[in-house]
């Protein structure tokens, strides 16, 4: 199991990377917006310097069309570094961008996944990671456990090199379920990790 932080909060990344076995950092445009006015690339480079060169840093494109996504990816790889995992939503335009980026040897994460079929297509297009949105699926009455299990089973059966990077969690129980369903990796707000170890019953037992 690998735990990633789904945040662009520099102080939180510093603090939680020091405490927890953090495998990397993810963000999306909404998460970056939360940080307020900031130099985006300086900010991403600061995250890189905190986590170090060996850990995956996933950054999302903002363009909606393939050509724009390719330009966004190029800018990320130039202004941050070549090891960035470029997050691309698995849409019609996105799947074409995933194929093109993989042909160039770029690390790619297919994101905004709400169905097994969407994940299968991203795997077949070459995505290194696929990000099913656990809580959002649950809110829609979908079965995130079953969808992640289906993705994991296809990876196992056909030996895809793809890693399931489950995302969109509101509590630690959902993270447990994603891991149990077969996600190798989960990305979450640091408050979820902190909550696991700061429950009053733990503190009381220790006292």
Site for ligand G3P, rule CB under 6 A: 6, 26, 28, 133, 135-136, 167-168
d(CA 71, CA 109): 16
Least separation in angstroms between residue 201's CB and ligand G3P is: 26
Closest approach, Cβ 28 to ligand G3P, in A, equals: 4
Cβ closest to ligand G3P, residue 173 vs residue 203: 173
CB of 135 vs ligand G3P, minimal distance in Å: 5
Catalytic residue among 34, 37, 82, 87: 87
Q: Min. distance of Cβ 102 from ligand G3P in angstroms?
A: 20
Residue nearest to ligand G3P (CB): 168
Q: Are 163 and 128 in contact (CB under 8 A)?
A: yes
Angle between helices 116-125 and 144-158 (to 10 degrees): 30
Comparison of 28 and 118: residue with beta carbon closer to ligand G3P: 28
Tell me if residue 34 is catalytic: no
Query: Which CB, 48 or 58, lies closer to ligand G3P?
Result: 58
Select 6 or 145, whichever has its Cβ closest to ligand G3P: 6
Residues with a catalytic annotation lie at 87
């Amino acid at each position: 199991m690998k735990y990633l932080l789904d945040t662009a909060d520099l102080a939180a990344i510093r603090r939680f990377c020091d405490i927890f076995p953090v495998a990397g950092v993810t963000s999306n445009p909404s998460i970056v917006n939360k940080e307020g006015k900031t130099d985006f690339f300086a900010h991403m480079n600061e995250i890189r310097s905190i986590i170090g060169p060996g850990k995956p840093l996933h950054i999302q494109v903002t363009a909606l069309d393939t050509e724009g996504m390719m330009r966004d990816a190029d800018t990320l790889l130039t202004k941050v570094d070549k090891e960035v995992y470029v997050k691309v939503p698995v849409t019609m335009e996105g799947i074409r961008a995933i194929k093109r980026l993989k042909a160039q040897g770029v690390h790619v994460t297919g994101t905004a996944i709400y169905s097994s079929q969407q994940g299968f297509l991203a795997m077949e297009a070459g995505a290194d990671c696929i990000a099913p949105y656990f809580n959002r699926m649950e809110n829609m009455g979908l079965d995130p456990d079953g969808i992640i299990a289906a993705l994991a089973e296809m990876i196992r059966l056909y030996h895809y090199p793809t890693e399931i990077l489950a995302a969109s969690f509101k509590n630690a129980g959902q993270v447990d379920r994603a891991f149990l369903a077969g996600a190798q990796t989960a990305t979450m707000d640091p408050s979820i990790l902190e909550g696991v170890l700061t429950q009053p019953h733990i503190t009381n037992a220790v006292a």
